[in-house]
């Protein structure tokens, strides 16, 4: 079994089954994979949105760019659910602090019943139609 040298130490020599020496270089990790390097914070704003599809259903999603995501949905490059349900209209857009909170809010919206989503839209001042 090969041995590994501590960082900065020249490689060790190990032996194969037949007895031939093999040079073993020390293990190193790139800095980006080092567990003590914290990720660089980004200033990206996340949004949770609610779309009304042509058949009256509501679709929830999360993104950093609402306009391009809505365009992707309309062109058929968005979620599979929205592909055959045109026309699509944006009925709710909520800014979130980070990706984690946006995905949690999206999941909470998806768990709501339809009547609760419509009540949310009514509270937000949107025109509600059954």
- Residue 49, helix vs strand vs coil: strand
Could you read off the pLDDT tens digit of each residue along the chain, which spans 130 residues? 455 555 555 555 566 676 666 666 666 666 555 566 566 666 689 999 999 999 999 999 999 999 999 999 999 999 999 999 999 999 999 999 999 999 999 999 999 999 999 999 999 887 666 5
Does residue 40 belong to any structural domain of this protein?
Answer: no
CB atoms within 10 A of CB 80: 7
Q: Is residue 41 part of a domain?
A: no
Residue of 23, 24, 25, 71 lying closest to 51 (CA atoms): 71
Residues 27 and 50 in one domain: no
Tell me, what CATH number does 81's domain have? Answer: 3.40.1440.10
What's the half-sphere exposure (Cβ side, CA atoms, 13 Å) at 10? 2
Centre a 10 Å sphere on the Cβ of residue 76 and count the other Cβ atoms it contains. Answer: 11
Domain containing 10 equals 1-32
Domains identified in the chain, total number: 2
Q: How many CB atoms lie within 10 A of CB 100?
A: 10
The two tokens of residue 93 are 């857009």
Check residue 5 and give its pLDDT.
Answer: 53
Q: Are residues 50 and 114 in the same domain?
A: yes
């Amino acid at each position: 079994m090969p041995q590994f040298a501590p960082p900065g130490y020249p490689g060790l020599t190990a032996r194969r089954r037949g007895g031939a020496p093999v040079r073993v270089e020390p293990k190193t990790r790139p800095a980006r994979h080092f567990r003590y390097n914290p990720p660089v914070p980004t200033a990206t704003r996340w949004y949770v949105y609610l779309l009304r599809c042509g058949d009256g259903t509501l679709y929830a999603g999360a993104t950093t760019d609402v306009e391009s995501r809505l365009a992707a949905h309309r062109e058929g490059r968005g979620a599979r659910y929205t592909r055959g349900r045109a026309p699509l209209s944006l009925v709710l857009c909520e800014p979130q602090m980070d990706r984690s909170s946006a995905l949690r809010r999206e999941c909470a919206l998806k768990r709501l019943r339809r009547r609760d989503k419509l009540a949310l839209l009514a509270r937000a001042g949107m025109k509600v139609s059954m």
